[in-house]
Amino acid sequence: MGRGRALLGQPVRSGRGVAAEELRRHNLGVVLKHLHMVGPVSRSELTAKTGLNRSTVADLVGELAARGVVTAGPSKIAPGPGRPSPIVDVRPHGAVVLAIEVAVDSLAVATVGIGGHIFNEIRVARPRGHFQPGQTVVDISQLARPLLAALPAEYNLVGAGVAIVGIVRRRDGFVQCAPHLGWQDIPFPDVLATEFVLDVPVRVANHADLGALGEYRRGGLAGVEHLVFVSGDVGIGCGVIVDGSPLLGSAGYAGEAGHNLINPDGRRCVCGSIGCWETEAGERALLRRVGAAAQGEGLDALARVEELAAGGDPATLAALAETGRWLGTGIRGLINVFNPEIVVLGGLYHRFFDYMEEAANETAAGAIDVSRRMTSIVRSSVGAGAALVGAAELVFDDVIADPAAILPG
């Protein structure tokens, strides 16, 4: 696996037409990105890893320290000859993101510092239904304020990143539709600003796209450059990383594999079409197969299914296996199209992985053989928080792209 190449930016050493100021700002981002992704290193290691010269790295670290995002601590006493080199690390509260996740059954908020440090995280279940965007923002604000108040003094909030279970225009965070929330044409950053004045940039993106980003940056297999993330709840979300970059499509709508046709003789989907993947492998399909024993829908019903499965109830195990086979049938198509190294399963499939894995692998085996053999189907290691982690990373990308533009001088 060619891991990690795209995780770290490439330094620019020189070049005609590259102004010195532009060069310095770019390299500032290269150093910060390395620290954000890798964690504490000695300044001499940082020099070796970035390929920049020693005095340049010392200057860049000095500037990042002055901007409050980096600390240069006591020197590590290295064995052998050579001068000791200070240990450089991120200062998490120097750049904090308010990460927000609007899911079907829950709302989650976290304060995340540069380097991926999670200061605090809270998730609350919400009864299933169609919550108005305004009410959702009021709820977010109530969850977020205590978290912001609990941050270390002199924290620097650099932005809010929001993951929404809907189709989101990446350019401006406009939510085209979120059928499972009952939302249509919502300028979410504006709604957030009217109810919750943060005075920082707000970035909004699709839940599964950010789940993929969270897995790619912080998951157990972080740095795998060809990754497909499939997350189940009522719907199915899908996010794709190709060659280390998120695949967005022309407006950010790529990855809606949950609405790929999988059963022409199937049921009507919330999108209006017949036989979409989520009508056979989503939560409703699972609960339909479990039947009356599930007693309803949503988190309570899933807890009941988990209980029945753990108790070895044959009908529940059969329902999980059948849903797993439909899951694998959809994954088969994704393997053929994207040739990923890993398919990471989140949400519903994370929860019931042990019961669905074998059945999913069975039907996914129908993918083209050379591609299937190099793909592993794995359970998410970030778990329920993958989209929240990705929402924070979305904003950190802006900081790393040009630290001097965002961090105080």
Nearer to Zn ion, 257 or 387 (CB): 257
Q: How far is the CB of 183 from Zn ion (least distance, A)?
A: 16
Pick one of 271, 317, 337, 374: the residue that binds Zn ion (CB under 5 A). 271
How far apart (Å, rounded) are the C-alpha atoms in residues 82 and 116? 32
Q: Which of residues 30-69 bind Zn ion (CB under 5 A)?
A: none
Q: Could you tell me whether strands 157-164 and 96-102 are parallel, antiparallel, or unpaired per DSSP bridges?
A: parallel
Q: How far is the CB of 288 from Zn ion (least distance, A)?
A: 16
Amino acid (1-letter code) at residue 121: E
Q: Per rule CB under 5 A, is residue 259 in the interface with Zn ion?
A: yes
Query: Cβ(395)–Cβ(160) under 8 Å?
Result: yes
Closest by CA position to 90, among listed 106, 104, 71:
71
Q: Binding segment for Zn ion among 17-25, 105-113, 253-261, 302-310 (CB under 5 A)?
A: 253-261
Nearer to Zn ion, 165 or 382 (CB): 165
Query: Cβ(143)–Cβ(107) under 8 Å?
Result: yes
Nearer to Zn ion, 54 or 130 (CB): 130
- Cα–Cα distance list, 64 to 58, 118, 401 (Å): 10, 21, 14
Q: How far is the CB of 227 from Zn ion (least distance, A)?
A: 24
Q: How far is the CB of 136 from Zn ion (least distance, A)?
A: 23
Nearer to Zn ion, 36 or 259 (CB): 259
Residues that contact Zn ion, how many (by CB under 5 A): 5
Residue owning tokens 């037409």? 17
Helix (H, G, I), strand (E, B) or coil at 168: strand
What one-character DSSP code corresponds to residue 6?
Answer: T
Q: Per rule CB under 5 A, is residue 262 in the interface with Zn ion?
A: no
Q: Binding segment for Zn ion among 59-67, 172-180, 246-254, 267-275 (CB under 5 A)?
A: 267-275
Q: How far is the CB of 281 from Zn ion (least distance, A)?
A: 12
CA angle 252, 366, 305 (to 5 degrees): 75
Q: Binding segment for Zn ion among 105-113, 276-284, 319-327, 367-375 (CB under 5 A)?
A: 276-284
Amino acid (1-letter code) at residue 350: H
Helix (H, G, I), strand (E, B) or coil at 119: strand
Nearer to Zn ion, 234 or 302 (CB): 234
Nearer to Zn ion, 170 or 259 (CB): 259
Q: Binding segment for Zn ion among 92-100, 252-260, 329-337, 349-357 (CB under 5 A)?
A: 252-260
Q: Which of residues 128-167 bind Zn ion (CB under 5 A)?
A: none
Structure tokens at 217: 């940056």
Pick one of 276, 287, 294, 388: the residue that binds Zn ion (CB under 5 A). 276
Query: Cβ(166)–Cβ(111) under 8 Å?
Result: no
- Residue 285: how many other CB atoms lie within 10 Å: 22
Q: How far is the CB of 277 from Zn ion (least distance, A)?
A: 8
Q: Per rule CB under 5 A, is residue 269 in the interface with Zn ion?
A: yes
- Residue 221: how many other CB atoms lie within 10 Å: 17
Interface positions with Zn ion (CB under 5 A): 259, 269, 271, 273, 276
